[in-house]
Structure 1
Amino acid sequence: MKVIRWILGRIILVLDFVFSPRGVKRSTEAQQAIDEKAAQMALYQFEACPFCVKVRRALKRQSVKIDLRDAKNDPQHRADLEAGGGKIKVPCLRIETQQGVQWMYESADIVAYLEKEFA
């Protein structure tokens, strides 16, 4: 089962690379504002997870650069995800606001949030 999962993960990564979406073109000032807003976010993810690929593609479509944190291979990121979000489940978007830190699970919710915030 592990071998099948590994093979499927590599197929997903190759297809994601081949059919990578184009990003939005913005003025320099507008992109800087987006980058400043995105600096308050981090995406905890696994490289070959199909739901994580879905979120990364949405980030690329919106031309948003968010810190990607590998919760599978990096024990510190994995521990941070469990301590902050309460469970080791990916994708998880960590959003820092003035009210505190919000942990958002579910790829569809994350994509909808990104489209609302960065469209």
Structure 2
Amino acid sequence: MSAKNLNDVQLYYFNTCPYCIKVLLSIKMMGLEFEHKNIHSSEIYKDELIEGGGKKQVPCLRIEENDSVRWLYESSDIIDYLQQRKG
């Protein structure tokens, strides 16, 4: 089974966050591929998260819908959204 690439989402995370690890493992198990942005490895990613989402909370999924952007927090909500997208 090939991976499903989602071009309209990005995950903001950092490696040692247990909630981020939960989301990352779920993404891998679902066979999804999309951009991951580690806020501890890039000041730019951290700034994007704070400016766009309003806080430095991870995990956070940036979702482009129609002509707007939605910021989804909470690991369970992110996993539920991605499962719906996977179909």
Same-fold status (TM-score > 0.5): yes
Q: Which structure would you say has the larger RCO, counting Cα contacts within 8 Å and 6 or more residues apart?
A: 2
Q: 2:29 aligned with 1:54, yes or no?
A: no
| Alignment of structure 1 residues 18-97 onto 2, 5 Å | 25-26=1-2, 31=3, 34-35=4-5, 38-97=6-65
- Structure of higher CA gyration radius: 1
Cα deviation for residue 73 of structure 1 reads 2.5
User: What are structure 2's unaligned runs of at least 5 residues?
Assistant: none
Distance 2:58 2:46 in 1: 10
RMSD: 1.2
Cα deviation for residue 61 of structure 1 reads 1.1
Distance 1:47 1:39 in 2: 22
Distance 1:61 1:114 in 2: 11
User: What are structure 1's unaligned runs of at least 5 residues?
Assistant: 1-24
Aligned residues: 87
- The C-alpha deviation readout for 1:54-96, integer Å capped at 9, x for no partner, is 1111111111011010112210000000000000000000011
Q: Structure 1 segments of 4 or more deviating over 3 A?
A: none
What TM-score comes out, normalization by structure 2 length?
A: 0.93
Give the fraction of aligned pairs with identical amino acids, expressed as a percent: 34
Indicate the structure with greater strand content: 2
| Secondary structure, aligned partner of 1:40 | strand
